[in-house]
Amino acid sequence: MELGLILLACAVMIAAILLAWALKRPRADTRPDPRLDTVIVAQGEIKGQFQNTVAAQAELQRTLSEQMNALNRRMSESLSESATKTSATLAGIGERLSVIDAAQKNISALSGHVTALSDILSDKQARGAFGQERMEAIVADQLSPSLYEFQHTLSNGSRPDCIIRLPNVKAVVVVDSKFPLEAFEALKDADESARKSAAARLRTDVQKHVGDIASKYLIAGETQTPALMFVPSESVYAELHTSFSDLIQKARQQNVVIVSPHILMLAVNTIQTLTRDAKMREQAYEIQKEVGALLKDVKLLAERLGDLRTHFERTSKDIGEIEKPLGRIVFRAGRIEAVEITTQDTPALSNPP
């Protein structure tokens, strides 16, 4: 815009100079000076070029303005989209950090539990209490208190960890939870040279414990066979079945079954199902007894209804017999009423028919 003004000013100045020069010259000839015509034509051309330049500059300015507006709009949209994506990314990062923090807390808690479990398994007395607590939790969670008892005293003075009562059966199921876990700990920690002796110790401890259960808890008529020896660890139970299957067979020969937490849970669920079926059979028997009594009452009611019908029929017959002489009496009374009463000299009436 400034360039066009400068060019316009220059053209005006040139035209003014030429015009002044032309006026100062003596007019010897009245014909127009061809140079002045040339200047005027040049001035017109300059003016046309200047107008074209101004129009081009305006078009250029408009185009630049449109491009700047489009660029600003795209930049604004891009910045808004980037801000949205950045916000979503930050939110996702925050959620992941929360999940990681929660997982870290769970890992810390599990580490504490593992440490506590390691402390429990490192002490013989604590191991026994651990097995007892797991067994009691499984039994108490599935059965009603009337179906089990902890530390029950048998007739021989022995006190198993738990007894389970079966429906309609006097003998009870015995559960022992004092499995020798220390032998498994010794086997797990033993190297190749000591593994054989650790395995021999495990066999000896398990066989001795099975023998103690069979001798103390299996009483004819008082306890069921087989008795249950509870192993509080699934891994120990799996190792026992994998590497010491002969111990499982020997225990069964002595009417002792080794069970893991899952197997004990299945056994307790089976007992619960048997108890529920027994109660349903008892209820069915009570219902059948009540239905029999109801049928007896219905038969008695039918007999009494028959007697009442016979009585009604007899009464109806008696009423009919009563109505016959009553009709005759009414008839005779009517005839008597129709007789005219005469004086004393009137002869007496003959006997009525």
Amino acid at 294: L
Residue 114's pLDDT is 47
Residue 351's pLDDT is 47
SS3 11: helix
* pLDDT tens sequence for the chain (353 residues): 555 556 566 666 666 666 555 555 555 444 555 666 676 667 666 766 666 776 777 777 778 778 788 887 887 787 788 778 887 887 878 787 788 877 777 776 665 544 444 444 445 555 557 778 888 888 888 888 888 899 889 989 999 989 998 888 888 999 998 888 777 777 777 777 788 888 888 888 888 989 999 999 999 889 988 899 998 888 888 888 888 888 888 889 999 999 989 988 888 888 888 888 777 777 776 777 777 777 787 788 788 888 888 887 888 887 878 877 877 888 887 788 777 555 444 454 444 44
In this structure, what are the phi and psi dihedrals at residue 30, rounded to the nearest 5 degrees? -80, 0
Residue 353's pLDDT is 45
Residue 112's pLDDT is 52
Residue 128's pLDDT is 57
Residue 346's pLDDT is 47
- Calculated CA dihedral for residues 230, 235, 237, 241, nearest 10 degrees: 180
Residue 246's pLDDT is 87
Q: How far is CA 136 from CA 6, 113, 232, in A?
A: 107, 20, 11
The two three-digit tokens of residue 96, written as one number? 């992941």
The two three-digit tokens of residue 173, written as one number? 């199921």
The model's pTM: 0.47
